[in-house]
Structure formats: C-alpha cells, structure tokens
Amino acid sequence: MTRVVVDASVAAKWCLPVREELLVPQAEQLLASYRLGAVEFLVPDLFWPELGNALWKGVWKGKIDGAWAEKAYHEVRNLDIPTIESFEFVPQALQLAVRHHRTVYDCLYVALALQSRAELITADERLANALAAQMPVKWLGAVSLG
C-alpha cells in the first residue's frame, strides 16, 4: 500500500464546488484510492485547522455557505485519516523552512512525509515546484494513480 501525506489544499478540492476549483478530478481519484484501501493517508494535526480555514475562506468568498462548510468538514473528519501530532516535527520543519524558504506550516507536511517514508501530495503548485527536486513532494496535478 502506498502511504502519502496530503495537505489541506488537497482536501479543499474534496469540499469546494467543482466549478470553482481546479484539480478536482485528481483529488477525487486520490480520495477514491484511499477509500479502496490502495492508498494510506497521513496528516499532521495542523491539517484540521488549515482545512477549517480553507472552508471559512470559501464562505467568505461566497463560494459556499456556512452549512456547506460544516458538512464538508465533518465528511472529511469521518474519513478517519490518521493524524500525527506535529510537535515532534517542528524542529525539522523549521530547518526545512529556513533551508528552502518555505513556511514552517508547509514544511510540517514535508517533515511528516520524510519521517513516515511517504510522499507529500499538495495542490499548491508553487510549493511542489520549490521542493519536488529535493524532497518527497508531488503536485496533485502530476499524480497518476490509474
């Protein structure tokens, strides 16, 4: 089974209206693979507030309403994605952030991927472009599970 760390940018694709989002088919294919047991997801605990913030942003921009946001959050929560406490990864994330000029938030996902011998899949193309050559980071648009 393939183990991947997914960030909140991927989960947001599962939650926001298709007409408003790019990469939804790829995100849904990844989610389908998880549901079939072909892929194992891991997330740091930061994932949950980041997903909440992405949903809030969707409400703020008028893409969804509050009820949609709450329902979407609970649907993702009900996926029972293993969540790892990020406290232990902060020192490594800080080193990565300084070295690669990325945020500690983004680098927490990378640190978890490194520690778990997994790959980070992100819908953040700039993050993927900045790190993919040196780190186990892949842009969602380049993921092929078929």
Q: What is the pLDDT of residues 46-90, one digit of tens each?
A: 999 999 999 999 999 999 999 999 999 999 999 999 999 999 999
Q: What is the pTM of this model?
A: 0.92
Two tokens at 123? 């819908």
Q: Given this model, what pLDDT does residue 146 score? A: 54
Return the C-alpha torsion angle 114, 38, 142, 107, nearest 10: -20
2-84+118-142 CATH: 3.40.50.1010
Q: How far apart are CA 13 and CA 23, in angstroms?
A: 7
Q: How far apart are CA 66 and CA 83, in angstroms?
A: 25
Pairing of strands 119-122, 137-139: parallel
Spans of all domains in the chain: 2-84+118-142
C-beta neighbour count of 94 within 10 angstroms: 14
In 12-146, where do the E strands start and end? 39-44, 83-84, 119-122, 137-139
Q: Given this model, what pLDDT does residue 117 score? A: 97
